[in-house]
Structure 1
Amino acid sequence: MKGRALIPMASQVILLCMLVCFGGVYGTQDEYRLLNDMFANYSNIIRPVERSADPIDVLIGAAIQQIIDMDEKNQVITLNLWMRMQWTDSNLKWNPADYGDTTVLIVPIETIWRPDIVLFTNADSSFNGMMMTSASISHDGIVRWNAPAIYQSTCKIDITYFPFDEQHCSLKFGSWAYHGFQIDLKNRTTSGDISAYIDNGEWTLVGMPVKRNLLFYNCCPEPYPDVEFTVIIRRRALFYFINLLGPCVLISLITVLDFFMPADAGEKVTLGITILLALTVFLLLVAETMPPTSEVVPLIAQYYACTIVLVSLSTVMTVYVLSLHYRLPGTNRVPRGMKKFAFSFLARIMCMGSFLVNMGDDDDENEISQNKSHAGVYENTFLSHQNGIAIMDDSEKKSSEESSVVSKRFESMTHDIMTNLKYIVKKKKDEDAEDDIMTEWKYVAVVFDRLFMWVFLLATTICTLAIICQPKPFTGPNEF
């Protein structure tokens, strides 16, 4: 055998001991003789080619067995892969007829030359790679090495459509020391083997395409080929829908109840602030599960932020309604334009009842008629008292002229009584006017409260549809 370098005798002894321990005792004499002949002058250091200018074609493939973990915070994916490599060793060829028709030989991988294939996107600090399993050698020099491996690889997480997202994690394998003129790395198939894949509870495996890249680095003029496996996984969104999106939708619906709560209850602002705090807590839970990035804002974060803004605006609306409802005594009447807008326009389009509409149409006339009737009643009351006093005065004058002093005193007392009576009537009249003004403001507050409720519902619906219906690439039906 040409081009073979001598290896130390200790290595040969170790090889023979391993072969004897792992089945050499029960092997045939032909296999024992084949091992002695092949590894007598074999070196597992020198690249096994007949001419130094010839490259070795290395075929690499992989079968994904399990997605162990997806660390989105650190953007690292852990996979269980079954690696499959194949190359031709020109120093490991024999004629089967010379060794009892032995066509295949199984040897430990440490005893033969193997390409230094490493994971370029490795994220494991210990750099653990493939398990050192045995390799299969055929009589024509083709070496097949299949070995399981657990890889931790970097994975660029795109959280734009979280939790309805799809991730593309690339695993690049290549030779670290040999360039493309020494090892020509190629992919065995156009896609990875997913037949033995074990389903993951959080992710659905969509596919595993494979492609070959030929890159030139600044360090070296030679090309460096690599094989890139792209693991495409889609998130199962049922868990996040139940635990994150569902509560947010329910909290948004509870906000509508804030507009139905009477202003006299005194809990409208408290309910709005409580809802705002609950949304903030859920937003913090979402932020803990996603990587801290400022490149994109995920859909769920957009939805929570939009909901928080709308709930904050609803609290501002509630404060405005309360300011209309609780007016201090002595305040001005409702402006005529505001009254017409609230009672004649808003109340009609929101179907709030004919009594509010009638207030906007006939309120001024009713007010004038009521004032006139009150004035007439007060005037008649005053005249009746004056007539009574006049009658009493005439009778007293006719009875005796000596009672003038008593009559003057009685007139003074009557005058004081009429003055107090006028004050009481005026006070009652002012109180009635204040009550009418306060009632008008309360009715205006009810109308605006109903208006703000419909504005909140409309804004929530528009924002939700705008966020959910954002265009995204279609890659197949989403699985919960």
Structure 2
Amino acid sequence: MRTLPAWIGVVAWCLYYNGVSSQTRPKKWRDDERCGQGYLAEDGNPAECNPDGIHPCCSPANWCGITAAHCDCSACVDYRNSDTTVCERLTADTGTFTSPNYPNNYPDDLNCRYEISVTPPKVIRLTFTDFDLEDNHDRVYVYDGGTTDFALELAQLTGSSIPDPVTSTGSSMTVKLVTDHSINMKGFQADYTAEDKVCESLTADTGTFTSPNYPNNYPENLNCRYEISVTPPKVIRLTFTEFDLEDGYDRVYVYDGSTTDSAFEIAPLTGSRIPDPVTSTGSSMTVKLVTDHSINMKGFQADYTAEDKVFAECAVGQYQCADGITCIDAWKRCDGKDDCMDGSDEEVSRCACQDIPSSLTMCMGIGYQNMTLPNPLDFTSTTVAQVENSTIFSTLSTLADSKCHPRVRDLVCATIVPRCESSPNLRQQLPCRSWCEEVKFSCEKLDSWSAFPSCEIFPHANCNNVKTSTTPEGEECFDGNGANYRGDEARGPVSGVGCDRWDDDPTFIAPYPWANLVDNKCRNPDAYSFSRPWCFTSSEMGFEYCDVIPCSDNGCKDPGHPTFGKRRPILKFHWPGETITYTCDTGFKFKKDSPPTKAQCVINDTTGEAYWATKRPYCEVDQTFKLQNDLLSTNVYAKAVAPTASLGIKAYVVNIINLDEKAEQIVTSFKAEYTNHIFSTSADADYSGGFPRTEVKLDSTGEVTWPITSLTTTTCTLDPFLFPHDNMTCAVCWKAGEDYTIECSNSTTHKDRDFLTCQNNAKDIIKGEWRGKATLSTINNTACLTMTLKRDPTYHYSTTISPCLILIVLMVITFIMPIDKGDRIGFGVTILLSMVVSLVVVTGFLPVSSALPFIAMLIIVCMALMALFMLSTLFIIIIHDKKGPVPKWVRTLFLKNIARALLMGDLTKKLKSEKPTRHCKIKKVNYIEGHDNHSSDMPIDGASSGEDNPSLNTRNEVGTALMGLKGSVDELKVSVRQLSGSIDAMTHADDDDEVAEYALLANVLDRLNLILYIIAICVAIPCTMLIGRPRIIPS
């Protein structure tokens, strides 16, 4: 249902229309464009204005009209100015957009807009590719700029016909879609592109146009085009009568057709010279003017006229485009790029591949099966039959049958039936120009060659070429003059140096883009100045022919070296007339009656075969030279100067006399021999220079041997850290003087097989507890006999290390002894002093150095631990006899928790919670030796105070009894003393409970010390090994 917004205080009505009406309903507006009160519409209500017409507003005078405000009455709102939603914002220079839900139907009651903006100062060209809206009820409005202002409306579109393209005047455009509540359609799809601004559109068959502001200066930053179209099928001829632009910065571009695509550019123009006339291929042309931001000039004035099309006459090597007036190079046809303005050179139907028919027997087996026509000889010959019927086909067949070049037939066929490649795209491949140039050099003297086109019509890239030829042996070779050689040879064979790069001289290679002058490879770009592949070199001539074998020319192969000699130059192929020179190696000469030292490559007149005119010579030893070189050469012997001697040494250790590791010295008995070959090159038997004054052995071969047997004392390098697993290195070295060189000997002495040489340079040696190897080496003109020794640790483990370990274990006894025994401290001090003695013993075996052995550092650490735990033991002894109860936290921590952890149980259970009640008192008994204690009676059995004088027997018995009694009394005295001590203890029974708690605490601490001591010793061993090891600092 349609709504009519009423505005208070409004004299007239303005209709907000959203396209909901249908053709069956009565109209709400009048055809006479009267509106308001007093003018009724078909529905019986006051008439409104047609919202889709050009007068959508009702004025106070009851007329439908339009103003800048889109309404002639105050407070009236045009329905097209109502709020709309943004469907899409498009900011790229090209793009595509569609109606909502496209290709499905758009929704009801839609009012949304598309905002398009491109790069200034370009304009927007809008093209609908699909359009289907409910006719007269759903509409598309196109506005110029970023607004929906009715005054800027460019087009109002409805129905199902595809509208014409719409172009904005600026770089922005707005498209609005408005639908009603029923009958929805598919909608639309539209493309837009950013185009240069149109300065002027010219549609007459003749006319004149100028640059903006002409004859005054054109504006800055201008980019606009002139679109010219005339009556088809005429073409346009453009003539400039005035031309003045800033040279190099402001330009006029002329395009063939209604486009500014660079592929259709006819001419770019700049400067102040009037250009030549320009002609289009069709009935449209575009002229674009582009200026920069400074230095403006007068501009241009141009005339154009429509002329009849004149068809071009294309020459050999050209292809005529479908427009009939454009000729392009034949090799550009079907190359994947549109070279014709109409694109006819890349049409699939014109580039399709065809099979080479079997009837064309001349071209069977040429390396490919597919062809494409027309060929570059005649663009009208599109079938094989037309090719065979051409006037030059018979002449080309004669050329193909000639033997002027091995590949002439392939070249002719590749020209008349060009190769066609279908993958990845259809592509024509004409013969490469280098191939043509090579064949031309060999065949141009034939009459039939005149029928073949110029080699300049052939391309040098993306072309058809033959594979590099090879000899029967498989080596690369070249045909003709080698202009088509593509091998990798890149060396001057005579000078032996590499070729120079071709691009080092750009001016030379510029005329030869077809010659494949890449890197420094051998090529022949100048076929008439050079007969075969060559290259620039740094030799005296500046260039050299390359050593590439010709495929068909006669020549001589490389003869190889003579025995004990050489030849020069060394080439794979020698041309007739070339010579080769033989030489013998140093110390050799040509044998008597040997062939000449030079040989020439000649041709046999009968067979035409090439061969060497002379055989290869033979070299033999030149005894005279050898004698002079060996004995009399100044490089070997000078009479006034002693010759430099080369000494070969061999030696071994006979015995180790004494080894003092503390002093780091070793006394050894060794045997060495020096060998000198000075007499091998001297015939002077009285020669005495250069030898020490000692006994030597002179062999018949001239070899001199100097045996040395001696005792030597040398210093050693001892590494004591892992004592007794330490090692020691001792070296006995000999250094040669400036006139001598010393090196190890390669041979042993047959009389003494113990000598160490270069091949056998190591031998085992043993001295007491030391074992190792003796090694012979020579370096920096110094020979060394190096003894690397390692100690056998058995002795020191037994006599030095084990006592230390036993003492460390015995320290445990300190924690096992009763606490109240004062011998604990004395025992511990004894162990500590014993460790000091062990430390002195260990260090007494080793030299004084900056590094202590591991065992010595471990002893020091253990001594420190022993001293620490001795102090702890003293503390335990002190608190053991302390009276009174321990603090509650001590009782809980030590007597309960730590005691349990040490497997001693809960010691708090042994403590009494309260003091016991005394039921009796024990009187203290004092006993003094020699007096009876009156507190107790001691009756003696068998004695009575009432008896009178006994008899003798009785007295004897009494005496015996008294003696026994005396012994009993002595025992009693001892018992009384013990009883006295017990009574004293009982007397102090009130303090027993207090003393027991500290005693228990002392027991717990004692057990804890034992555990900590064992742990500390175990941790000390790896930590001492890690911390005490000497650090090796890289040099």
TM-score (norm 1): 0.59
Partners of 1:191 and 1:316 in 2: how far apart? 65
1:59-458 aligned within 5 A: 59-90=648-679, 113-115=690-692, 134-175=695-736, 178-179=737-738, 182-188=739-745, 189-190=757-758, 195=763, 199-213=766-780, 225-293=781-849, 295-327=850-882, 331-354=883-906, 356=907, 358-359=909-910, 363=911, 366-367=912-913, 370-371=914-915, 374=917, 431-458=988-1015
Identity of aligned residues (%): 22
Q: Which amino acid aligns with 1:318?
A: T
Q: Residue by residue, what CA displacement relative to the aligned partner does 1:270-327 show, whole Å, maximum 9, x if unpaired?
A: 111001111111111222221122x211112112111211221221121111112132
Aligned equivalents of 1:211, 1:358: Cα separation in 2? 82
1:88–1:143 Cα contact (<8 Å) kept? yes
Shift of 1:226: 1.5
> The residue matched to 1:66 in structure 2 has which SS?
strand
Match of 2:941 in 1: none
Q: Which has more radius of gyration?
A: 2
- 1:225-276 deviation line (CA, Å, top 9, x unaligned): 3223321110111111111110000111100111000012321101110011
CA contact (8 A) 1:272 1:314 kept: no
Which structure has more relative contact order (CA 8 Å, sep 6+)? It is: 1
- Matched residue of 2:766: which SS? coil
CA shift, 1:192, in A, is 7.0
CA spacing shift, 1:304–1:49, aligned 2, 3 Å: farther
Contact 1:244/1:282 (CA < 8 Å) preserved in 2? yes
Instruction: Supply the distance in 2 between the matched residues of 1:135 and 1:257 (Cα, whole angstroms).
Output: 72
Distance 1:191 1:168 in 2: 22
Shift of 1:165: 0.8
Give 1:112 shift.
8.0
User: Residue type of the partner of 1:437?
Assistant: E
* Structure 1 alignment gaps of length 5 or more: 1-47, 96-104, 106-110, 117-131, 214-224, 379-426, 474-480
Q: Secondary structure at the match of 1:228?
A: strand
Cα 1:472–1:269 shift into 2, 3 Å = closer
**Residues 347 and 357 of structure 1 are in contact (CA less than 8 Å); yes or no, is this contact kept in structure 2?**
no
- Aligned partner of residue 68 in structure 1, secondary structure: strand
For 1:241 and 1:436, the matched residues in 2 are separated by 52
Deviations 1:132-156 (A, max 9, x none): 6x43221232112233221101112
Q: Cα deviation per residue 1:354-413 (whole Å; 9 max; x = unaligned)?
A: 5x2534xxx4xx42xx24x639x79xxxxxxxxxxxxxxxxxxxxxxxxxxxxxxxxxxx
Structure 2 CA distance, aligned partners of 1:306 and 1:147? 51
Assess, with a 3 A threshold, how the Cα gap between structure 1 residues 51 and 141 changes in structure 2: closer, same or farther.
Answer: farther
1:238–1:49 distance in 2 versus 1, CA, 3 Å: farther
Does the C-alpha gap of structure 1 residues 244 and 469 become closer, same or farther in structure 2, counting only changes over 3 Å? farther
Does residue 463 of the first structure (1) align with residue 1020 of the second (2)? Answer: yes
Q: Against the structure 1 CA distance between its residues 429 and 472, is the aligned structure 2 distance closer, same or farther, given a 3 Å change threshold?
A: closer
SS across alignment from 2:718: coil
The one-letter amino acid paired with 2:691 is: R
Partners of 1:190 and 1:466 in 2: CA distance = 45
Once the two structures are overlaid, the 10-residue window that deviates more, 137-146 or 182-191, is 182-191
Q: Report if aligned partners of 2:673, 2:705 keep a CA contact under 8 Å in 1.
A: yes
Give me the CA root mean square deviation.
3.3
Find the aligned partners of 2:760 and 2:743 in 1 and give their Cα distance: 13
Is the 1:255–1:311 Cα contact (8 Å) retained in structure 2? yes
Supply the distance in 2 between the matched residues of 1:170 and 1:470 (Cα, whole angstroms): 31
Distance (whole Å) between structure 2 residues aligned to residue 71 and residue 428 of structure 1: 68
Q: Identify if the C-alpha distance between structure 1 residues 353 and 92 changes in structure 2 by more than 3 Å, giving closer, same or farther.
A: same
Q: Which has the higher helix share?
A: 1
More strand per residue: 1 or 2? 2
Runs of 4 or more consecutive aligned structure 1 residues displaced over 3 Å after TM superposition: 48-51, 91-95, 189-195, 427-433, 465-473
Counterpart of 1:20 in structure 2 is: none
SS of the aligned residue for 2:719 comes to coil
**CA 209–450 in structure 1, closer or farther in 2 if over 3 Å, else same:** farther
Q: Deviations over 1:414-466 (max 9, x none)?
A: xxxxxxxxxxxxx9999445221211111111111110001001111111233
Counterpart code for 1:157: L
- C-alpha change, 1:137 and 1:464, in structure 2 (3 Å) is same
Deviation at 1:211, TM superposition (A): 3.5
* Alpha-carbon displacement from aligned partner over 1:86-122 (angstroms, at most 9, x marks no partner): 1123389669xxxxxxxxx9xxxxx885359xxxxxx
